[in-house]
Amino acid sequence: MMRKTVVLLLAAMIVGCSSSGTHNGRYSMRHDKAPDQPVDVSHVKDAVPKVEPKSRGGNKSPYTVLGKQYHIADSALNYREVGIASWYGKKFHGHQTSNGEIYDMYKMSAAHKSLPIPTYLRVTNLANNRQVIVRVNDRGPFHGNRLIDLSYAAASKLDMLGKGTARVRVEAIDPRTWNRPSAGAAANITAAAAEPATGKYLQVGAYGKRNSADYVRSQLLPLLQGLDVQVRPTTNNGRTLYRVQVGPLKSTTSVPELVDQIEQMGYRGSRLVDFP
């Protein structure tokens, strides 16, 4: 009996956010929920990828939860998967995650069943193309076919709180190369440095939905001080695209630095354009 009790306690520590909806002495509420009043998390910045050692806690492999065995991957390199995301909030807020950190639902974190802790992930809501960068510091979700459990803040920024789940694309970020411009961006920076930019615009992207373009604009505006960010529609062969453009650029604007800053936010492939 004693051995069974010890096993159950160890399983509870591994589970972290099981999203099972069960009530036990570890948590003060039976069911998870959002804060009592909606919280504006627009000021919460994405997790910033950095090289870290694997956590001492949360990386035991294999481990068993609810009778099912899970194995931790040796590395998250090149990980990419599409699946269902859920989120967890107030029930787990202030409690330990699987690696011993304290869960803060207002930070950009996540739980995953098999990626090493910590792992940095770019998560895209496929319904609206919104993106966030989160840091995995917990295990779960152990409920149905869900792929990842996001913090309240991350889910809010992906606009999935109301429905509770969303179909997402999850991509691992390699912190060792995160601060290096991609080959395409490096070419853009080189070209931009050689080309007069005064009065031109830097086009960050073109999106098929207006709300996706508006979201990108809302992310760029607070960080690109002194520069306007506009959404301009264009129609070609009956298809409307909404272009997000920064500018007009000034003679004092360092285009290479601007391109690099935008890429650090996760938006790659910026290019100089004339308008109209």
CATH assignment of the domain containing 260: 3.30.70.1070
- Beta strand 146-151 with 109-112 is antiparallel
208 within 8 A of 214, measured Cβ to Cβ:
no
| Residues contacting 190, CB < 8 A, separation 6+ | none
How confident is the model at residue 27, as a pLDDT?
56
Task: Point out the domain boundary residue: 111, 144, 175.
Answer: 175
**In a shared domain, residues 165 and 195:** no
Are both 42 and 111 inside the same structural domain? Answer: yes
Give the CATH number for residue 107. 2.40.40.10
For residue 181, whether the previous peptide bond is cis, meaning omega lies within 30 degrees of 0, is no
Q: How far is CA 109 from CA 44, 66, 93, 106, 258, in A?
A: 11, 23, 12, 9, 27
Q: Is the pLDDT of residue 223 over 70?
A: yes
Residue 184 counted as domain residue: yes
In-domain check, residue 8: no
pLDDT digits (tens, 9 = 90+) for 15-52: 455 444 444 445 555 666 567 678 888 888 899 888 89
Question: At which residue do the structure tokens 């039976």 appear?
Answer: 30
Residue 28's pLDDT is what?
56
Strand partners, 167: 84
Structural domain ending residue among the three candidates 126, 146, 175: 175
What distance lies between CA 194 and its chain's CA centroid? Answer: 34
For the segment 125-175, what is each residue's pLDDT rounded down to a tens digit?
999 989 999 999 999 999 889 999 999 999 999 999 989 999 999 999 988
pLDDT for the residue numbered 267: 78
E strands, 2-143, where?
Answer: 63-65, 68-70, 80-88, 109-112, 119-125, 131-138
pLDDT at 73: 95
The tokens for 227 are 């520069």
Model confidence pLDDT, tens digit, residues 188-221: 545 544 455 567 888 888 888 888 888 888 888 8
Number of domains in the chain: 2
Which domain range does residue 44 map to? 15-175
**Does 141 share its domain with 199?**
no
Single residue among 145, 175, 205 that ends a domain in this structure = 175
pLDDT in tens, 56-94: 999 999 999 999 999 999 999 999 999 999 999 777 777
The pTM of this model reads: 0.63
266 with 243, same domain: the answer is yes
Considering the domain architecture, whether residues 213 and 162 belong to the same structural domain is answered as: no
Is 67 part of a structural domain of the chain? yes
